[in-house]
């Protein structure tokens, strides 16, 4: 049935635009359709379609049922996700009477829906004629045999968004956690008439070595008669136009035609820095003694090849480093992923704004517009099928669905240069022979992408890259930073294929309740936020909601800086996929982004500042710690991460140390040198003795490193004097680790007690520097806290430089501390070191607070003051500041607490 | 000209080489890496033993009246190897938590070597993130109690402090050591086919882990780990498959 026929190549270089009258005609089907729900699933399979009666309601398409408030009005306030206002899962019927133009006689007639969920069945008049269940690609139903040109047909479409196979409900292609499992028809929807000899498929395979493309056409011929003619290719791009003609002949129902077209030396390559995109249009003209036929098909392509390098993905034989974001179909404004160019353009521009060059589509594949915009902006895609978890466990029906789906994706989007990586799905378990089968077949079917079996699970032989949190050499993910930076993931990343760090980041920010109002016109609502907010209100802290948000947000920003820099220091890593730059509104609700679910900035960091540590070229420092004593020396190894378009010749490398006000305290240069491209280069080392730094009022200093004054990055360090005799009791001030008789008496006399209990004598959670991983609802394990709000303007911090949020100087203060449950304390009492609780709990928590007890003045600090105190300059300084405060004349606690509260958080 | 020919010959030769065999003929008993034991009537998950990830030996005395009995665990996170008096009986995981034990009558020591590969990230068990073994262990429906739980310091033990002797016959988990020669320092893949589950160090550098149930059956050994001449390999094997050799291959091995 399939046959290669002669293709005589004729080459014509032409600057003229041929005016070709395409014989394809289309009827736009958007607009009003009849509509009926069918929650009982009774209509299909029963006699009712045969009645051929008009559906009673109307709906506008493209659209989804949610747009018209169809379905079950949800009374719930889901905690673990946004709540869909109107739920609908079942068959829904859409109908239109359409006159098939009489001129379409002899044509092939198709009805085309760009995207739907997930089974679409088309009925012509009373008969079901076509069913398609792709999730990731358009549904194109062939109606030729069932419609008669010149006649009005009743076209009834059943869209069934129930799970057609037993697949994981978390797949982002249709999960309630992110985009909802909508019912409707989206994007382009049209009726098409095509000549009976037509191009069913056109795939373009670039060869950058000789600037040629191999074009493979699948010609369908429904005439059952031989036709002859030619295929004319028009290749067009910026300042480029080329025409090429080949002869074709077809006497079979399917014929493949291949043409190799030399594009000459004016053709430009495609990559992230030079996203040169070309349009190829093929016009097929054929005829026999009876008639002539014409069909035109276009595709976008770029001159790029992707290969598996040693540690990196190679684009046009050059190693690229992937700075990526995990995209989980988070589109709460519409409830579905957009199908228009403008929406995707916004996302690609955001990627560039934040220095990223890569998107991983986690367990889903985006529509065409996403590829078009990624082609245009130079963003590298990894796309997946709707496959997750146990989806590879034996189930032949499900397996067959995946076997169709992978081919569908490769055929529909394979030409796009942005499509560099394919993976079957996320964290798959089950039968890995099946995963290997898909992966090997993908490689065989389309060599324009690199393939991987599964993220973060069992490796298979056909893997060409591996996205994982670990390899058999150890962890490659980075979830959190450290106060030191002399580490990377090189050893662990260095295996037989390039390794991409899986779902790095994931640091939780306290929800921004201001976002609630953004859902007014969405199909979903943040009712969980309402619950969290009410809880915070009940616990007397609603006024602190914004402070919790910005303090935890600032911590997430500094964690992401540390996480990303660690991954950039890892020259043997192929890249990373951050989870994520935008919030994930399901799986418990994970506000881990610096952008909200609408991809709007939360105002935590500007793109310019973000690009200092996430960009094609980044200045890096390796140093041992963040907090120093004054008699120490700060020493750093400087590196430059450079995966830009070129090496940096004769780079001027400067460092400087500034104080809080930006005043330069020290500066110096490293040797001017050329910095290689596609590598992380060591550029030298510098030391700054801290003895001579005058500390004045600030302890926070900033080390800056710049390349040619255009690439800048900076790191905060803290310098403190040494304190030898801390926590000395006086007549007025008693330091004690136990709340005993002596302490009570001291208070009864109106004097001061500083209670610094041993951590193991304080009830409650262990304090952890990092804010909670992902979210505390899905991962209900320690710490169950989201950073700290520091009441930095209080006089207790007069001698301890801090912001309203924790920075790396807080590391050794917090890590061995205990979190005191303070719900029983008076509402007005606010701890000066206030720990932010999990937002589904919202209890008042603290590590340090002051109060009036029994007529005396009490300050409690649940920080470990024993372990290696001589190596903890910041803890020493905090204790010093507290000491000066309690012994000075500003210590006047206002809030009275009962002794019973003090006892409530101590053991015994 | 001669030089080119020589390189040509060398290439031909090296591509023809079948994996170089490494004999692991020295052994070190596991007791050397025992951390402080915890005793408890009921099982404690690793979380309560302060083990975030890694290995714990759970042991208890069992008495059986019949020749064979079924051992059934409530929870296995993530992998357990079952021994009776130092004899391998089989392995357990969270999707197969039952095992038939034979030749059992009398009193024996039940030893469960358990690995925790880190926290799970999704699935129905997500809200119960205990690791190790916990809940009940039943032997023919009877509770097994009075457990001794010994965390094993596998990853952080100073390898050079391990005392090796000639490898004894035996089936329990342990460390094995071998010496092999390298005449060209190049990347190699360590073929672990036949071995059960464990971790590998070469010249005191950690090079990776393996598991018989993975498709991937080799570990990349970077050339910078290898030295010309004598090299030393140390393997920790959890499920003792009584293999005595591993081999070096030029390409990754998948099953």
Tell me the two tokens of residue A683: 């550029």
Query: Distance (Å, rounded) from C-alpha A94 to C-alpha A43?
Result: 12
State percent of chain A over pLDDT 90: 93
For residue B252, give the nearest of A471, A496, A587 by CB distance.
A496
Do A620 and A569 form a contact (C-beta atoms < 8 A)? Answer: yes
Do A412 and A382 form a contact (C-beta atoms < 8 A)? Answer: no
The more confidently predicted of residues A694 and A662 is A662
Query: Distance (Å, rounded) from C-alpha B12 to C-alpha B2?
Result: 15
Do A386 and A363 form a contact (C-beta atoms < 8 A)? Answer: yes
> What is the band of B48 on the pLDDT scale with cuts at 50, 70, 90?
confident
Q: Does A458 touch chain B (CB under 8 A)?
A: yes
Give the up-direction half-sphere exposure of residue A80: CA atoms within 13 A in the CB hemisphere. Answer: 11
- The per-residue pLDDT for range B125-156, each reduced to its tens digit, is 555 678 889 999 999 989 999 999 999 999 88
Using a CB-CB cut-off of 8 Å, the residues of chain A touching B209 are 472-473
What is the model's pLDDT at position B124? 54
The more confidently predicted of residues A45 and A216 is A216
What is the model's pLDDT at position A23? 53
Q: A90 to chain B, minimum CA–CA distance in Å?
A: 26
ipTM for the predicted complex comes to 0.75
Q: 3-class secondary structure for B149-181?
A: EEEECCCCCCHHHCCCEECCCCCCCEEEEEEEE
Q: Does A473 touch chain B (CB under 8 A)?
A: yes
* Count of positions (residues) in chain A: 908
- Residues forming beta bridges with residue B40, ordered by sequence position: B147
Residue A812 predicted with pLDDT over 80: yes
* Residue ranges with strand state E in A469-544: 470-471, 474-475, 499-505, 524-525
Query: Distance (Å, rounded) from C-alpha A887 to C-alpha A878?
Result: 14
Query: Distance (Å, rounded) from C-alpha A618 to C-alpha A824?
Result: 49
Q: CA A349, A354, A355, A357 torsion: positive or negative?
A: negative
Contact across the interface for B216 and A170, Cβ inside 8 Å = no
Tell me the two tokens of residue B132: 């190790």
Token pair 């951590």 is found at: A759
Query: Distance (Å, rounded) from C-alpha A31 to C-alpha A712?
Result: 53
Token pair 């997750």 is found at: A388
What is the model's pLDDT at position B120? 59
> What is the band of B123 on the pLDDT scale with cuts at 50, 70, 90?
low
Query: Distance (Å, rounded) from C-alpha A691 to C-alpha A628?
Result: 10
For residue A432, give the nearest of B122, B215, B252 by CB distance.
B215
Q: How far is CA A376 from CA A340, A352, A366, A419, A748, in A?
A: 14, 12, 16, 12, 74
Say whether A453 sits in a helix, a strand or coil: coil
Do A139 and A188 form a contact (C-beta atoms < 8 A)? Answer: no
Give the number of other CB atoms < 10 A from CB of residue A292: 13
Q: B20 to chain A, minimum CA–CA distance in Å?
A: 19
Largest Cα–Cα distance of chain A, in whole Å? 116
DSSP calls for A61-114: ESEEGGGGT-SEE-----SSSPEESEE--SEEEEEEEEEPPGGGTTSEEEEEEE
Query: Distance (Å, rounded) from C-alpha A481 to C-alpha A484?
Result: 8
- Residues forming beta bridges with residue A246, ordered by sequence position: A9, A231
Query: Distance (Å, rounded) from C-alpha B15 to C-alpha B27?
Result: 33
Give the up-direction half-sphere exposure of residue A182: CA atoms within 13 A in the CB hemisphere. Answer: 28
For A492, phi then psi, to 5°, come to -70, -25
Q: Give the N- to C-terminal CA distance of chain B in Å, as an integer.
A: 42
Q: Which residue, A852, A847, A813, A843, is CA-closest to A832?
A: A847
Q: B208 to chain A, minimum CA–CA distance in Å?
A: 4
Find which of A428, A465, A473 to mutate to test the B interface (most B CBs within 10 Å of its CB).
Answer: A473
Contact across the interface for A389 and B189, Cβ inside 8 Å = no
Please name the residue of chain A whose CA is at the shortest distance from the CA of residue B128: A780
For A192, phi then psi, to 5°, come to -125, 140
Please name the residue of chain A whose CA is at the shortest distance from the CA of residue B255: A461
What is the model's pLDDT at position A402? 98
What is the model's pLDDT at position B122? 57
Contact across the interface for A473 and B119, Cβ inside 8 Å = no
The gap from C-alpha A422 to its chain's centroid, in whole angstroms, comes to 16
- The per-residue pLDDT for range A609-631, each reduced to its tens digit, is 999 999 999 999 999 999 999 99
Residue A12 predicted with pLDDT over 50: no
For residue A472, give the nearest of B121, B210, B254 by CB distance.
B210
Token pair 């009921």 is found at: B42
What is the model's pLDDT at position A3? 38
DSSP calls for A140-209: EEE-GGG--TTSEEEEEEEEE-S-SS---TT-TTS-TTSS----EEEEEEEEEEE-SEEEEEEEEEEETT
Residue B198 predicted with pLDDT over 80: yes
Q: Which residue, A762, A784, A782, A733, is CA-closest to A847?
A: A762
Say whether A854 sits in a helix, a strand or coil: coil
Cis before A421? omega within 30: no
- Residues forming beta bridges with residue A64, ordered by sequence position: A184
Using a CB-CB cut-off of 8 Å, the residues of chain A touching B210 are 472
Q: A782 to chain B, minimum CA–CA distance in Å?
A: 11
Radius of gyration from C-alpha coordinates of chain B: 21
Using a CB-CB cut-off of 8 Å, the residues of chain A touching B254 are 459-461
Mean of all residue pLDDT scores within chain A: 95
- The per-residue pLDDT for range A733-768, each reduced to its tens digit, is 999 999 999 999 999 999 999 999 999 999 999 999
A237: left (phi over 0), alpha (psi -120 to 50) or beta: beta
For A21, phi then psi, to 5°, come to -95, 100
Query: Distance (Å, rounded) from C-alpha A889 to C-alpha A879?
Result: 17
Residue A332 predicted with pLDDT over 70: yes
Domains of chain A, each with CATH number or no CATH: 2-16+196-301 (2.60.40.10), 25-194 (2.60.120.260), 306-600 (3.20.20.80), 617-720 (2.60.40.10), 733-904 (no CATH)
> What is the band of A481 on the pLDDT scale with cuts at 50, 70, 90?
very high
Give the number of other CB atoms < 10 A from CB of residue A531: 16
- The per-residue pLDDT for range A71-108, each reduced to its tens digit, is 999 999 999 999 999 999 999 999 999 999 999 999 99
> What is the band of B3 on the pLDDT scale with cuts at 50, 70, 90?
very low
Please name the residue of chain A whose CA is at the shortest distance from the CA of residue B201: A473
- The per-residue pLDDT for range A95-142, each reduced to its tens digit, is 999 999 999 999 999 999 999 999 999 999 989 999 999 999 999 999
Contact across the interface for B126 and A778, Cβ inside 8 Å = yes
Mean pLDDT along residues B50-77: 90
Please name the residue of chain A whose CA is at the shortest distance from the CA of residue B155: A474
Q: Which residue, A852, A885, A395, A325, is CA-closest to A594?
A: A325
B 96-155: CB under 8 A from A: 118-119, 121-123, 126-127, 129
Q: How far is CA B31 from CA A354, A627, A730, B56, B80, in A?
A: 52, 40, 53, 12, 18
Query: Distance (Å, rounded) from C-alpha B58 to C-alpha B37?
Result: 10
Domains of chain B, each with CATH number or no CATH: 18-30+155-249 (2.60.120.260), 35-152 (2.60.120.260)
What is the model's pLDDT at position B126? 58
Using a CB-CB cut-off of 8 Å, the residues of chain B touching A587 are 122
Q: How many CB pairs under 8 A join A and B?
A: 52
Q: Which residue, A807, A806, A809, is CA-closest to A834?
A: A806
Q: 3-class secondary structure for A613-675?
A: CCCCEEEEEEECCCEEECCCEEEEEEEEEECCCCCEEEEEEEEEEECCCCCEEEEEEEEEEEE
Tell me the two tokens of residue B179: 């010496």
What is the model's pLDDT at position A489? 97
What is the model's pLDDT at position A208? 97
Q: CA A662, A667, A670, A672 torsion: positive or negative?
A: positive
Residue A189 predicted with pLDDT over 80: yes
């Amino acid at each position: 049935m399939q046959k290669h026929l002669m293709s005589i190549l004729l080459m014509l270089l032409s600057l003229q635009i041929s005016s070709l009258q395409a014989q394809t005609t289309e009827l736009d089907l958007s607009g009003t359709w009849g509509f009926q729900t069918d929650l009982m699933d009774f209509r299909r399979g029963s006699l009712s379609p045969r009645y051929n009666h008009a559906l009673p309601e109307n709906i506008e398409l493209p659209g989804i049922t949610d747009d018209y408030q169809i379905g079950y009005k949800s009374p719930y306030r889901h905690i673990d996700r946004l709540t869909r206002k109107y739920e609908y899962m079942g068959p829904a019927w859409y109908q239109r009477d359409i006159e098939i133009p009489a001129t379409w006689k002899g044509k092939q007639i198709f009805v085309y829906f760009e995207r739907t969920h997930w089974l679409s069945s088309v009925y012509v008049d009373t008969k079901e004629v076509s069913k398609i269940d792709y999730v990731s690609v358009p549904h194109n139903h062939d109606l030729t045999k069932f419609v008669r040109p010149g006649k009005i047909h009743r076209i009834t479409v059943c869209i069934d968004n129930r799970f057609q196979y037993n697949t994981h409900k978390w797949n982002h292609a249709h999960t309630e956690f992110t985009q909802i499992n909508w019912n409707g028809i989206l994007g382009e929807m049209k009726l098409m008439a095509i000549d009976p000899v037509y191009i069913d498929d056109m795939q373009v395979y670039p060869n950058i070595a000789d600037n040629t493309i191999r074009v493979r056409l699948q010609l369908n011929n429904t005439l059952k008669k031989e036709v002859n003619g030619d295929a004319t290719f028009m290749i067009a791009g910026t300042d480029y136009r080329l025409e090429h003609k080949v002869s074709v002949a077809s006497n079979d129902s399917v014929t493949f035609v291949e043409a190799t077209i030399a594009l000459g030396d004016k053709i430009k390559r495609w990559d992230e820095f030079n996203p040169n995109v070309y349009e190829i249009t093929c016009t097929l003209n054929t005829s026999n003694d009876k008639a002539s036929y014409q069909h035109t098909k276009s595709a976008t392509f770029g001159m790029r090849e992707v290969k598996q390098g040693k540690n990196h993905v190679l684009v046009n034989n050059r190693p690229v480093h992937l700075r990526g974001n995990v995209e989980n179909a988070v589109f709460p404004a519409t409830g579905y992923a957009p199908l228009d160019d403008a929406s995707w353009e916004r996302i690609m521009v955001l990627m560039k704004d934040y220095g990223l060059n890569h998107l991983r589509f986690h367990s889903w594949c985006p529509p065409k517009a996403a590829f078009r915009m990624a082609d245009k902006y130079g963003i590298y895609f990894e796309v997946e099928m709707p496959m997750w978890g146990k989806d590879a466990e034996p189930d032949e029906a499900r397996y067959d669905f995946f076997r169709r789906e992978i081919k569908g994706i490769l055929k529909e989007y394979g030409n796009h240069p942005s499509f560099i990586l394919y993976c079957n799905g996320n964290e798959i378990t089950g039968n890995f022979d099946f995963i290997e089968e898909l992966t090997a077949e993908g490689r065989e079917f389309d060599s324009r992408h690199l393939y991987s079996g599964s993220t973060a699970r069992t490796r298979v032989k056909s893997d060409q890259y591996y996205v994982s949190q670990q390899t058999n050499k150890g962890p490659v993910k980075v979830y959190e930073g450290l106060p030191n930076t002399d580490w990377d993931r090189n050893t662990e990343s260095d295996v037989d294929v390039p390794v991409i760090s899986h779902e790095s980041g994931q640091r939780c920010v306290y929800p921004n309740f201001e976002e609630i109002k953004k859902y007014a016109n969405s199909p979903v609502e943040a009712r969980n936020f309402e619950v969290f907010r009410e809880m915070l209100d009940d616990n007397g802290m609603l006024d602190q909601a914004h402070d919790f948000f910005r303090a935890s947000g600032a911590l997430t920003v500094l964690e992401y800086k540390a996480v990303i820099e660690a991954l950039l220091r890892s020259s043997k890593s192929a890249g990373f996929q951050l989870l994520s730059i935008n919030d994930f509104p399901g799986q418990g609700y994970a506000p881990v982004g610096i952008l909200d679910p609408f991809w709007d900035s939360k105002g935590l960091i500007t793109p310019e500042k973000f690009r200092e540590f996430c960009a094609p070229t980044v200045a890096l420092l390796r140093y041992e710690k963040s907090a120093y004593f004054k008699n120490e020396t700060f020493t750093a190894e400087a590196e430059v991460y450079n995966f830009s378009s070129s090496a940096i010749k004769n780079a001027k490398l400067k460092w400087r140390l500034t104080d809080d006000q930006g005043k330069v305290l020290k500066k110096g240069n490293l040797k001017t040198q050329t910095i290689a491209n596609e590598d992380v280069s060591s550029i030298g080392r510098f030391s700054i003795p801290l003895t001579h730094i005058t500390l004045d009022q600030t302890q926070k200093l900033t080390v800056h490193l710049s390349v040619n004054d255009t690439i800048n990055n900076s790191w905060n360090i803290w310098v403190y004097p040494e304190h030898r005799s801390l926590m000395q009791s006086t007549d007025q001030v008693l330091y004690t680790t136990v709340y005993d008789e002596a302490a009570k008496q001291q208070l009864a006399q109106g004097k001061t007690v500083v209670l610094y209990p041993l951590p193991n004598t304080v009830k409650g959670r262990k304090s952890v520097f990092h804010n909670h991983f992902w979210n505390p609802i899905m991962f209900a394990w320690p710490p169950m806290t989201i950073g700290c709000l520091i009441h930095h303007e209080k006089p207790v911090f007069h001698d301890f430089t801090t912001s309203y949020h924790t920075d790396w100087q807080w590391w050794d203060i917090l890590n061995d501390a205990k979190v005191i449950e303070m719900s029983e304390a008076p509402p007005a009492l606010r701890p000066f070191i206030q720990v932010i609780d999990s937002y589904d709990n919202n209890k008042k928590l603290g590590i340090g607070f002051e109060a009036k007890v029994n007529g005396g003045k009490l300050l409690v600090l649940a920080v470990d003051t024993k372990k290696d105190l001589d190596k903890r300059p910041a803890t020493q300084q905090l204790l010093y500041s507290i000491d000066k405060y309690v012994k000075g004349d500003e210590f006047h606690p206002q809030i009275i607490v009962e002794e019973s509260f003090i006892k409530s958080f101590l053991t015994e | 000209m001669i030089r080119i020919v020589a390189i040509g010959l060398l290439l031909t030769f090296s591509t023809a080489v079948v994996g170089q065999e490494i004999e692991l003929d020295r052994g070190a008993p596991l007791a050397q890496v025992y951390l402080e034991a915890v005793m408890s009537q009921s099982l404690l998950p690793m979380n309560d033993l302060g083990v975030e990830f890694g290995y714990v030996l759970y042991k208890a005395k069992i008495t059986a009246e019949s020749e064979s009995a079924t051992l059934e665990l409530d929870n296995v996170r993530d992998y357990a190897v079952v021994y009776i008096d130092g004899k391998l009986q089989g392995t357990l995981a969270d999707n197969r938590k039952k095992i038939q034990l034979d030749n059992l009558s009398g009193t024996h020591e039940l030893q469960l070597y358990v690995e925790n590969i880190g926290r799970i990230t999704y699935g129905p068990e997500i809200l119960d993130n205990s690791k190790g073994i916990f809940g009940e262990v039943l032997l023919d429906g009877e509770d097994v109690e009075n457990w001794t739980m010994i965390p094993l310091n596998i990853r952080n033990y100073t390898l050079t402090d391990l005392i090796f002797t000639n490898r004894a016959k035996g089936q329990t988990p342990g460390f094995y050591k071998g010496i092999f020669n390298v005449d060209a320092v190049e990347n190699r893949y360590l073929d672990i086919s036949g071995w059960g589950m464990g971790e590998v160090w070469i010249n005191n550098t950690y090079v990776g882990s393996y598991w018989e149930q993975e498709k991937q059956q080799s570990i990349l050994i970077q050339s910078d780990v290898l030295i010309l001449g004598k090299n030393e390999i140390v393997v920790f094997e959890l499920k003792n498959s009584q293999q005595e050799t591993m081999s070096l291959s030029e390409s990754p091995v998948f099953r």
